Chains A and B, each alone.
Chain A
Amino acid sequence: MSKIALIIKREYTTRVMKPSFIILTFLTPVLIAGMIMVPLLLAQIKDNTEKKIVVIDQTGLYQNVFADNESFKFEFIDQSIESFRTSKDKESYDAVLFIPQDLSLNPKAATLFSEEQVGLELKSYVSGLLKDYIEERKLAELNIPDFKELVEKTKVSIDVKTVRWGKDGEEKMGSAELAVIIGMISAFVIYIFIVVYGAQVMSGVVQEKTSRIVEVIISSVKPFQLMMGKIIGIAMVGLTQFALWVILSVVLVTALTTAFGTTLDIEAYQQAQTMGVSAVNLPFDDQDGVVSELLIALQNFDFVQTGVLFVLFFLGGYLLYASLFAAVGSAVDNETDTQQFSLPLTLPIVFAIYAAIYSAENPDGPLAFWCSMIPFTSPIVMMVRLPFGVPAWQLALSLGILILSFIGSTWVAGKIYRTGILMYGKKITWKEMMKWVFYKG
């Protein structure tokens, strides 16, 4: 086995076998699946205990307003609030709705009494019923024939569909929301991977230097081999973790959805949508078709292209930063000194994530364009732009710049590393580091 392969293997296996890696890798998809599933499941669980509400209506105007539903049952009694408050009857009710006055004159007159704090659901249900009823009555008082129907007709809900035209004019149902979601998620994943694994490269280098392992190893391998072995090995750890996350998340979400019967039948939604039928049995409220549109857009989304570009940009960005992190690690004497020198590296990464957030709002604007060309920000910003569609020449240019930059940065880092890794007890400055780059040898 070649020496660099040996180094890669060691870097890879020691990290992948770590309990912390295994736990994090297997727990994260569970958390992601949980975050997706819990709201869906909670939405399905209905509070099946029926609450009884007694209405004391002193005006006698609202007898027909309160319709019972699954959760609430209304009863009217003719009793004063004072006597009810002290009577034994109140034990058998969950809440008391007291209406002393005509609400069209005093909209704040109604009160809900209860022993336990009334839930928001009851409050909004009751106020909704009263509001609708009073609005209707006020309209009726205007005495305009068919006014209610006229008003109904003016109520509209607008949702602009976004459709992307392919090169051949073929329509693709797109979704700006989906594009933002996917873009931001992949940008954040790249950001986190660069920061986490870049830091691992750096601390690995510092560790080898401080423990003097490098003095032994350097007699067998070239410094550049040692550096690249570490960088590549850790990149493979990152890719392994990412691949496992994707696979596990998909498996878990599928397993959970089937187990709880909320199969999201995308085919059915799509059919319904194209046929203009909205009456599909959705497990949740989807009057305007927002969810089904998202799902269709999700299905139309080109995951293969995004996936491939994600890996390319991740590797490019990681190699660029990791080599510089390695250079910093080699130049310092201990872990605490790394902070001072790694700051200029972490700043552009943090800047990139802000640029990505603003680019999502205007994915073809100048900020988005330039930041997706500058190699220090492009891996993150390009991820946000990608789902909106990026011209091929821009992708090629951005990737080209990124590749050239990481070749340059590994070259520079290799020079710094070669000198720095064996240098002890000398205060390092940026000037000194630049000198190392141009050493002959």
Chain B
Amino acid sequence: MKLLEVKNVVKQFSGHRALDGVSLDIPENTVYGLLGPNGAGKTTLIRIINCITAPDSGEVFLNGKRLTAEDVRHIGYLPEERGLYKKMKVGEQALYLAQLKGMTKQEALMALKYWFEKFEIQSWWNKKIEELSKGMAQKVQFITTILHKPKLLIFDEPFSGFDPVNADLLKREILALKDGGATIIFSTHNMSSVEELCDNISLIDKSKIVLQGNVDEIRAAHATGTYRVVTKTNLHAESFDVQSEKETHHGFEYVLKSRAGESNNVLLGSLMTQSELFSFEEVLPTMNDIFIETVTTKPKQS
């Protein structure tokens, strides 16, 4: 079921078009990735979904109804430029934001206690935001974003500023939120996180969507017919090209490229006639490769 639907959104800024006919559907209880190079229009799209800016044309629907400012109250939004009062203490601030979002003081205190313990940041409670590092402040802001358990969460570049350990923590929490029934949209440059987290993605480049769909399907569609094969004896290239060859103590390791769209089984069959197979694996392109390929080649075509 579609939770959020963006239809043909156009946003023009003086001098350039930030979004040009962007449409996307976000199914409920999935993780949706917004990818794209810097300045592609990701943040503009997120701001439109949050009703921070209005589109020049096009519409956004939530649960099939036109999105209003009222609906935005049920969205948890983590902006790219982290917004917290620098002079305010962490605890006070988290409590204030939680209460603004409609939690009672008691609820907020309980929830905050849980999250502060989970992230092991209880000792920050009485520190001012300005005393924290960027990554630390980001943790605090992440908590304030998800504290009131919104059904739709939007994170703009959630991993920027995090060390690998904390980025991993964040990934686990995002998956946990999805398991808890939330729908999550996030924008990122971090492609490995996309493969780990996202069910669907949209790749935005130069204000247009250039690639959209299910992550697995996209990777399969971009398959180049490359395989990693380990065999007992030597292979001789017939219906395939050998890209690399390596002899190991338990056999021969090959990277092969099949010719002209052969199916896996056909290739497998021809390999089996040559040698005993230890392993056979199709190598799918990483999102990183797809990203670079799409972004660098598309403009040439148009």
Q: Interface on A for B, CB 8 Å cutoff?
A: 1, 3, 6-7, 10, 14, 208, 211-221, 422, 426
Contact = CB atoms under 8 A, between A and B. Distances in A.
A232 B56 CA distance: 35
A113 B21 CA distance: 98
B88 interface: yes
Interface stretch (B31-39, B92-100, B189-197, B248-256): B92-100
Interface string B129-144: 0000000000001001
A215 B83 contact: yes
B79 interface: yes
A215 B99 CA distance: 16
B75 A215 contact: no
Contacts of A3: 100
Interface residues of B, number: 28
Nearest to A427: B14
B101 interface: yes
Interface in B58-111: 72-73, 75, 77, 79, 81-88, 96-97, 99-102, 105
Given A14-B87, A217-B100, A212 B53 contact: no
Given A212-B79, A215-B52, A422-B52, A6 B99 contact: yes
A211 B88 contact: no
A179 B92 CA distance: 47
Contacts of B105: 1
A22 to B, nearest CB: 15
Which of B75, B100, B101 has the most A CB atoms < 10 Å from its CB? Answer: B100
Contacts of B73: 219-220
A215 B100 contact: no
A216 B101 CA distance: 10
B207 interface: no
A219 B96 contact: no
Contacts of A220: 73, 97, 100-102
A213 B102 contact: no
B85 A213 contact: yes
Given A14-B87, A14-B88, A426-B14, A215 B50 contact: yes
A10 B101 contact: no
Contacts of B97: 216-217, 220
B69 to A, nearest CB: 8
Contact of A215 (B79, B88, B96): B79
Contacts of B96: 6, 10
Nearest to A204: B85
A95 B105 CA distance: 79
Interface of B: 14, 47, 50, 52-53, 72-73, 75, 77, 79, 81-88, 96-97, 99-102, 105, 141, 144-145
29 contacts: A6-B96, A6-B99, A6-B100, A10-B96, A14-B87, A208-B83, A211-B81, A211-B83, A211-B84, A211-B85, A211-B86, A212-B81, A213-B84, A213-B85, A215-B50, A215-B77, A215-B79, A216-B83, A216-B141, A217-B83, A217-B100, A218-B72, A219-B73, A219-B75, A219-B77, A219-B101, A220-B73, A220-B97, A220-B102
Contacts of B100: 3, 6-7, 217, 220-221
B102 A219 contact: no
A213 B83 contact: yes
Question: Which DSSP category, helix, strand, loop or mixed, fits chain A's interface?
Answer: helix
A211 B81 CA distance: 7
Contacts of A426: 14
Contacts of B99: 1, 6
B45 to A, nearest CB: 14
B82 A212 contact: yes
Contacts of A7: 100
Which of B52, B82, B87, B144 has the most A CB atoms < 10 Å from its CB? Answer: B52
A219 B81 contact: no
Given A220-B73, A220-B100, A214 B14 contact: no
Contacts of B101: 219-220
A6 B50 CA distance: 23
B83 A214 contact: yes
Contacts of B144: 216
B72 A219 contact: yes
Contacts of A14: 85, 87-88
Contacts of A213: 83-85
Given A6-B99, A219-B50, A221-B100, 19 more contacts: A1-B105, A3-B100, A6-B100, A14-B85, A211-B83, A211-B84, A212-B79, A212-B83, A214-B83, A215-B50, A217-B97, A218-B72, A219-B73, A219-B77, A219-B101, A220-B73, A220-B97, A220-B101, A422-B52
A422 B72 CA distance: 15
Which of B53, B75, B83, B85 has the most A CB atoms < 10 Å from its CB? Answer: B83
A350 to B, nearest CB: 30
Which of A1, A211, A215, A422 has the most B CB atoms < 10 Å from its CB? Answer: A215
A214 B105 CA distance: 21
Contacts of B82: 212
Nearest to A213: B83
A218 B101 CA distance: 10
A1 B97 CA distance: 13
Nearest to B150: A219
